[in-house]
Amino acid sequence: MISQWQEALSGLFRSARTGKYGEIFSSTAIASVLLGSVAINSLSLTSPSFRYQLNVIALPSAHGAEFDPIKAIETLAVKGRAPKTGYSRSGFGPAWADVDGNGCDTRNDILKRDLSQISFRAKTKDCVVESGVLVDPFSGESIYFQRGEKAGALVQIDHLVALSNAWQTGIFKAGIATRKNFANDPLNLLAVKGSLNTQKGDGDAATWLPPNKSFRCDYVSRQVEVKAKYGLWLTRAEKEAILRVLTNPPCLKQG
């Protein structure tokens, strides 16, 4: 059976072909498209007589339209940081494991996702990224990545909720399988400028925010989403800092 949004899209395309401008703006059709679960950033409708661009908002959240960081943050417990006793990188499993079983390690998966103009190492089945360009979300700068000890350090993979932060806010209670998934979860990973990743360290939103202010809304929203997904808590200062960002007019406008 054809769903309502599919019928609406068909109507839009028919209208585009016949040039019936009024049908494009049918309130029923537009409402159906917006309500339908269509993952489209931009849909171009073309006819010999006109061109109309219909933009549907892309949803970056892993939870789709249902995730609201301001509501979600109120569901998280607020406590002080637990001791760092027992924390180690090995407590999250091997670094950059292939948890999704696609034959590529997580680091290369994130480089492939976040870089453009990518070249791959030969005979690696497009797994090992040799070079590419990152538009760094933390700074807004464009950075050329070249694999190697020095050049490679210019681009690093950041855990938005740092591993030690997660340890001190509840993940120490979880089993190794959960901690391994956390360390390799694409929701919690981002390719960024290496020096800013080092500057951030294991800081939370109360101690560090990206210099690129236009990215701060997405940055703290993702932190809330990750903490909600893994049942982690917030410190009082961290919650207050996140809410300051989320309730700023620019963030409210984005939402």
pTM for the complete prediction? Answer: 0.74
Q: Determine the pLDDT at residue 255.
A: 61
The domain segmentation of the chain, as residue ranges, is 4-55, 64-254
Instruction: Render pLDDT for 22-67 as a digit per residue (tens, 0 to 9).
Output: 333 344 443 443 344 434 333 333 333 333 332 222 334 555 557 7
CA distances from 229 to 80, 164, 224 (A): 19, 17, 9
Q: What is the mean pLDDT of the chain?
A: 81
Higher-confidence residue: 254 or 190? 190
End-to-end CA distance of the chain: 33
Residue 10 has pLDDT above 90, yes or no: no
**Token digits for 202?**
């294991």
